[in-house]
């Protein structure tokens, strides 16, 4: 039989899952405490028992989904021995999000909401900073010029791809890789000239 702490973790997990689903389905501003509680199968009072506010719940749920997206991209970084291969793997991972999927819709909603919600903006900025730093370090190790600014541009391009696929589903890794690959080229061995790990 589950302990009280285990039941609490299960309820919290269900609330986060419900909130993420509803943001993707209904939009950030349309989600209510009652909707989340109903979707999670719990009493509305448990939302405020586990989270300081509805925006705090939506923020944590959204950041959790975005962290999973970033983790997929970071796996490409850790597996690749060249900057070009890292880019190839990150773009291939991004192809899992065609634009009409729940994660893509949630990211779009969260990006918009971050302009009005300081807590969400801070959480997303922290996640972005960690990804940019890791990408910049990888590019630096591969001899890419101005690696941290290049990482910032690449991260923005990857985010843009995810957002634009809602309008243009053909914006895939195959279409984008040659263009983004030019950002990594400096003509030295071991950077974009070498396409495999």
Q: What angle do CA 60, 62, 65 make, to 5 degrees?
A: 110
In the chain, what percentage of residues exceed pLDDT 70?
A: 94
CATH superfamily of 54-184: Tetracycline Repressor, domain 2 (1.10.357.10)
Asked if residue 110 lies in contact with residue 66, where contact means CB atoms within 8 angstroms, the answer is: yes
pLDDT in tens, 27-73: 999 999 999 999 999 999 999 999 999 999 999 999 999 999 999 88
Least confident of 21-25, 110-114, 139-143: 139-143
**What's the whole-number average pLDDT of the chain?**
89
Domain boundaries, the chain: 54-184
| CA distance linking residue 166 with residue 99, whole number of Å | 4
What number is the average pLDDT over the span 178-194?
Answer: 62
Task: For 151-183, write each residue's pLDDT tens digit.
Answer: 999 999 999 999 999 899 889 999 999 998 888
Q: Is residue 90 predicted with pLDDT exceeding 60?
A: yes
Q: What pLDDT does residue 4 have?
A: 84
For residue 196, pLDDT beyond 50: no
Residue 187 backbone dihedrals phi, psi, to 5 degrees: 85, 5
Would the pLDDT of 186 be above 90? no
> Could you read off the pLDDT of 133-148 as tens digits, one per residue?
999 998 998 889 999 9
If you search the block for the tokens 């243009």, which residue do you land on? 168
Residue 113 has pLDDT above 60, yes or no: yes
Percentage of residues in the chain having pLDDT higher than 90 = 69
Which has the closest alpha carbon to 154: 144, 141, 168? 144
pLDDT band at 194; cut points 50, 70, 90: very low
Determine the average pLDDT of the residues in 12-22: 97
8 Å CB contact between 42 and 11: yes
Tell me how many helices (H) and strands (E) the chain has: 9, 0
Whether 187 has a pLDDT exceeding 80, the answer reads no
């Amino acid at each position: 039989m589950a302990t009280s702490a285990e039941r609490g973790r299960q309820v919290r997990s269900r609330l986060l899952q419900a909130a993420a689903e509803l943001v993707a389905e209904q939009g950030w501003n349309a989600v209510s405490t009652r909707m989340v509680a109903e979707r999670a199968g719990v009493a509305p009072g448990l939302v405020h028992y586990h989270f300081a506010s509805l925006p705090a719940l939506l923020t944590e749920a959204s950041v959790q989904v975005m962290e999973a997206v970033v983790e997929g991209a970071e796996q490409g970084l850790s597996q690749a021995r060249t900057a070009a291969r890292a880019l190839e793997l990150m773009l291939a991972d991004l192809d899992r999000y065609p634009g009409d999927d729940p994660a893509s819709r949630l990211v779009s909603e969260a990006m918009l909401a971050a302009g009005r919600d300081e807590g969400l903006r801070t959480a997303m900025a922290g996640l972005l900073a960690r990804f940019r730093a890791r990408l910049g370090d990888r590019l630096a190790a591969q001899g890419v010029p101005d690696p941290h600014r290049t990482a910032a541009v690449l991260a923005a391009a990857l985010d843009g791809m995810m957002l634009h696929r809602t309008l243009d589903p053909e914006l895939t890794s195959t279409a984008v890789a040659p263009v983004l690959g030019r950002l990594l080229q400096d003509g030295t061995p071991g950077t974009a000239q070498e396409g495999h790990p």
